[in-house]
Amino acid sequence: METILIVDDEKNYLLVLEALLAPEGYEIITTDKAEKALNIIKDSDLDLVITDMKMPGMSGMELLEATKRINPDLPVIMMTAYGTIEMAVEAMKKRAYDYITKPFQNEELKLTVKKALENYRLIKENRLLRKALSDRFRYGSIVGKSKPMLRIYDLIQKVADSKASILISGPSGTGKELIAKAIHFSGPRKDGPFISVNCGALTETLLESELFGHEKGAFTGAIAMKKGRFELADGGTLFLDEVGDMPPSLQVKLLRVLQEMEFERVGGTKTIKVDVRIISASNRNIKEDVAEGLFREDLFYRLHVIQIEVPPLRERRDDIPLLVKHFVDKYTKDNQNKQVELHPDVWKAFYNYSWPGNVRELENVIERAVVLSSGGIITVEDLPEELTNAQVELEAERFVPPGMPLPQALEKIEERLIRRALSECNNVQAHAAAKLGITKSLMQHKMKKYSIVI
Ligand X SMILES: Nc1ncnc2c1ncn2[C@@H]1O[C@H](COP(=O)(O)OP(=O)(O)OP(=O)(O)O)[C@@H](O)[C@H]1O
The residue ranges that bind ligand X (CB under 6 A) are: 141-144, 170, 172-178, 283, 323, 326, 359-360, 363
When the beta carbons of 285 and 408 are compared against ligand X, the nearer one is 285
User: d(Cα 241, Cα 168) in Å, to the nearest integer?
Assistant: 9
411 binds Mg ion (CB under 5 A): no
Collapsed DSSP state (helix, strand, coil) of residue 71:
coil
Smallest distance from ligand X to CB 323, Å: 6
Smallest distance from ligand X to CB 151, Å: 13
Q: In the set 35, 98, 177, 424, which binds Mg ion (CB under 5 A)? A: 177
When the beta carbons of 231 and 361 are compared against ligand X, the nearer one is 361
Q: What's CA 212's distance to the chain center, in Å?
A: 36
98 binds Mg ion (CB under 5 A): no
Instruction: Classify residue 308 by its DSSP letter.
Output: E
Question: Between residue 391 and residue 410, which ones bind Mg ion under the rule CB under 5 A?
Answer: none
- Residue nearest Mg ion, Cβ-based: 177
Collapsed DSSP state (helix, strand, coil) of residue 170:
coil
- Say if residue 103 is preceded by a cis peptide, omega within 30 of 0: yes
Instruction: Name the β-bridge partners of 227.
Output: 213
* Only segment of 22-30, 172-180, 224-232, 441-449 that touches Mg ion (CB under 5 A): 172-180
The interface partner of residue 143, options being Mg ion, ligand X, none and the CB cut-off 5 to 8 Å by kind, is: ligand X
User: d(Cα 20, Cα 24) in Å, to the nearest integer?
Assistant: 8
The interface partner of residue 324, options being ligand X, Mg ion, none and the CB cut-off 5 to 8 Å by kind, is: none
User: d(Cα 381, Cα 385) in Å, to the nearest integer?
Assistant: 9
* Only segment of 10-18, 176-184, 187-195, 366-374 that touches Mg ion (CB under 5 A): 176-184
Of 92, 66, 56, give the one whose Cα is nearest residue 5. Answer: 66
The interface partner of residue 75, options being Mg ion, ligand X, none and the CB cut-off 5 to 8 Å by kind, is: none
Instruction: Name the β-bridge partners of 213.
Output: 227
When the beta carbons of 115 and 360 are compared against Mg ion, the nearer one is 360
When the beta carbons of 171 and 193 are compared against Mg ion, the nearer one is 171
Smallest distance from ligand X to CB 150, Å: 12
Pairing of strands 76-80, 226-227: unpaired
The interface partner of residue 142, options being Mg ion, ligand X, none and the CB cut-off 5 to 8 Å by kind, is: ligand X
Smallest distance from Mg ion to CB 201, Å: 11
User: d(Cα 348, Cα 388) in Å, to the nearest integer?
Assistant: 10
The CA-to-CA distance between both ends of the chain, in Å, stands at 60
When the beta carbons of 181 and 314 are compared against Mg ion, the nearer one is 181
User: d(Cα 100, Cα 21) in Å, to the nearest integer?
Assistant: 15
Cβ atoms of residues 237 and 180 within 8 Å: yes
When the beta carbons of 146 and 169 are compared against Mg ion, the nearer one is 169
Number of residues in the chain: 454
Q: What's CA 222's distance to the chain center, in Å?
A: 44
- Contacts with Mg ion by CB under 5 A lie at 177
